[in-house]
Amino acid sequence: MQKTEESIEKSVKSKPNGVLLFPEDFTKHGTSAAIRKALQRLREKGIIKQVAHGIYVRPKKNEFIGEVMPTAEEVAKGIAKRDKIKMVPTGTFALNALGLSTQVPLKLVFLTDGAARIIKVGNRTIKLKKTTPKNLLAKGKISALVIQALREIGKDKVTEDELNKITKLLKKEDKKNLIHDIALAPEWIKIILRKALNH
């Protein structure tokens, strides 16, 4: 047990601060029970902090505010990478990510092809909603977000200002990706996406 803890501590300290640490990262250091125990001990010693259930970090240090913990967005990305799943931000989170809303959502909702679950990160929540593969086929980072954001706003509720912002954002999207993603969108969203192509 001691040996597992020492080798995990060494491994943890060799990684840059701010990197998310999962028990699965340390499988070569011992059994899953020994790894869990070792991470628990390292947490008690103050070497690592728990971010969420089964997710740890050695926080980055900032000279003004002290320790900087990973954001819920970073945790979500880490989970997607670890589980090799696709995730698309949806709802108010998609609006916020595009700059269409200043409201910082306490609940980040993602559509995913992985298991549905809820992860608590501080006072925020990451909710993974299982969806059909079609909803995850969008190739463009911006266009995928735009489709979800427009769904959240709703048909006939998009303001002129929002349309202008969306068109501006979509112009930064790779044209091939945008053409691909238009085919996946509901009819009323297709019309908005096409406008960006023709401008």
The H-or-E segment that residue 20 falls in is strand 20-21
Beta-carbon count within 10 A of 97 CB: 18
**Is CATH 3.30.70.20 what the domain over 2-66 is classified as, yes or no?**
no
What six digits make up the tokens of 136?
Answer: 């995850």
pLDDT one-digit tens code per residue, 125-163 = 999 999 999 999 999 999 999 999 999 999 999 999 999
Q: What is the pLDDT of residue 2?
A: 80
- pLDDT above 70 coverage of the chain, percent: 99
In contact, 58 and 39? CB cutoff 8 Å: no
pLDDT values of the chain reduced to their tens digit, one per residue, 199 residues: 689 999 999 999 999 999 999 999 999 999 999 999 999 999 999 999 999 999 999 999 999 999 999 999 999 999 999 999 999 999 999 999 999 999 989 999 999 999 999 999 999 999 999 999 999 999 999 999 999 999 999 999 999 999 999 999 999 999 999 999 999 999 999 999 999 988 6
- CB atoms under 10 Å from CB of 28, counted, come to 8
- By C-alpha distance, which of 123, 159, 115 is closest to 51? 123
Alpha carbons 175 and 54: distance in angstroms, whole number: 40
What is residue 45's predicted lDDT score, i.e. its pLDDT?
97
CA distances from 25 to 49, 57, 83, 102, 116 (A): 16, 12, 12, 36, 22
Listed by start position, the domains of the chain span 2-66, 72-198
Instruction: Note the pLDDT of residue 198.
Output: 81
Q: Which two tokens stand for residue 128?
A: 């993974």
- Rounded CA separation 192/189 (Å): 5
